[in-house]
Each structure stands twice: as C-alpha cells, then as structure tokens.
A and B are shown apart, each in its own frame.
Chain A
Amino acid sequence: SQQGEEDPQALSIQEGENATMNCSYKTSINNLQWYRQNSGRGLVHLILIRSNEREKHSGRLRVTLDTSKKSSSLLITASRAADTASYFCATDDNAGNMLTFGGGTRLMVKP
C-alpha cells in the first residue's frame, strides 16, 4: 500500500514558472526523500530531509517538512522544459529498511 500521497497528481506549467508539489504520509519517519523519474526509467535522487529538519535547499529545489502535519512540499523554481518528469516522495520506516512511495506527481513544463 502507498503511505505517501502526492498532490496534485498532474501539473502543467509554462517554462519559467514555479512548480509546487505536496506529499502527505501517515506514520512517523526518520527522513523523507524526493525523487524524479523520466519516462519510466530509473529514479533520480533529488534531496533528503531528516525528520528534525524543516527546510532544505538544493539549487532550484526547496523542500519543506512539517512532521506535525505529516506533510512535505517540493518547490522547483524557474522551471525548465527539462524538468518535465514524474516526482515522487518516499518515506522510510523507523528501521530504515524500506522506502514507501506515493503515487507521484506528473509535471509537464511547456516551453
């Protein structure tokens, strides 16, 4: 079963705009990771945020984590056509031996 739920399921924006994706989860976590996937290929690791962190930046990516609401958001600023992909959040269990993924947000960035 999926622990995380991404919202929205699909997002279409123009190049240069910002894209925000949200993720909710159900149980306590050690960390939350965001991944990108292009056209059914492998997952590319974007960023990991630990449960004691509230915000993290990496280039054009900004991730927030609210453990009281069991939610996270991924913001991509100044989007590019190359950002077109599916984005997944994944949470670990306390044992750290499995990641639970949501269903993903399919982002389309139009040139």
Chain B
Amino acid sequence: ETGVTQSPTHLIKTRGQQVTLRCSSQSGHNTVSWYQQALGQGPQFIFQYYREEENGRGNFPPRFSGLQFPNYSSELNVNALELDDSALYLCASSSQGGKTEAFFGQGTRLTVV
C-alpha cells in the first residue's frame, strides 16, 4: 500500500467529452507525476507538478492539462477525448521534484467509446 490514491478506478467516456482524474499524493510528498499506459506498453510520462507548478512535460498535446493543489493532490484533465486516449492513467508521488523513489497509485482505467 503506497498511500497514493486515484479516483475513479474505472471510467467510460464518449469521444469529444472531457474528463478529470484525481490523485492524492503520499504524505510528505510534494511532487506528483502523471503517466499514460496503453495496453501492453510501458507508461509514458505526461507531466509533473512540483509545489503547485508544472515541472516538466512529455510529448502530449495541450488538451492534456493538470493542476496541483496546496495539499499536493493533483488533477489530470483531458479535453476533446479521442479513442486513442483509452488507457490506464497512473499517478506517481515523490519528493524533491522527482529525485527520489516514485510511488504509484492503482491507476484509473479510461475507456473512450
């Protein structure tokens, strides 16, 4: 049990809709990173938030956006959903802007139909 919680666990959305995924970081951690994992592949880095600021971004379009709150929890927002956005979305909690071990939540399984 990592202490990193994600909600919801499963979600089905229609193409074109918007979705918000949530992550509560582990106590004492100030850094949250988001990853997308397509079936059968390794996770791909979306972006990281450190002390409420974006601290790095992967190769994802602007319709993927995020927030980090003063309690270091975070949201991932995806607009204009596409079928290829169907994936497991993973949140990772760490400290020092990501320079320590990263602990992952159980993920949110998003299906876009």
Binding site for B on A (CB under 8 A): 1-2, 4, 30, 33, 35, 40-45, 48, 88, 90, 92, 95-104
Contact = CB atoms under 8 A, between A and B. Distances in A.
Given A30-B99, A40-B107, 14 more contacts: A2-B41, A41-B106, A41-B107, A42-B90, A48-B101, A97-B33, A97-B48, A97-B97, A98-B45, A99-B35, A99-B45, A99-B102, A101-B44, A103-B42
A33 B102 CA distance: 9
Contacts of A96: 96-99
B66 interface: no
Nearest to A104: B42
Given A42-B90, A101-B42, A95 B33 contact: no
A23 to B, nearest CB: 11
A99 B56 contact: no
Given A33-B101, A41-B107, A98 B90 contact: no
B41 to A, nearest CB: 6
A43 B104 contact: yes
Contacts of A30: 99
A98 B107 contact: no
Interface residues of B, number: 33
Contacts of A100: 45
Given A42-B90, A45-B102, A48-B101, A98 B33 contact: yes
B92 interface: yes
B55 A97 contact: yes
B48 A98 contact: yes
Contacts of B4: 42
Interface centre among A33, A92, A98 (most CB of B within 10 A): A98
Contacts of B106: 41-42
A48 B55 CA distance: 22
B56 A97 contact: yes
Contacts of B96: 96
A95 B102 contact: no
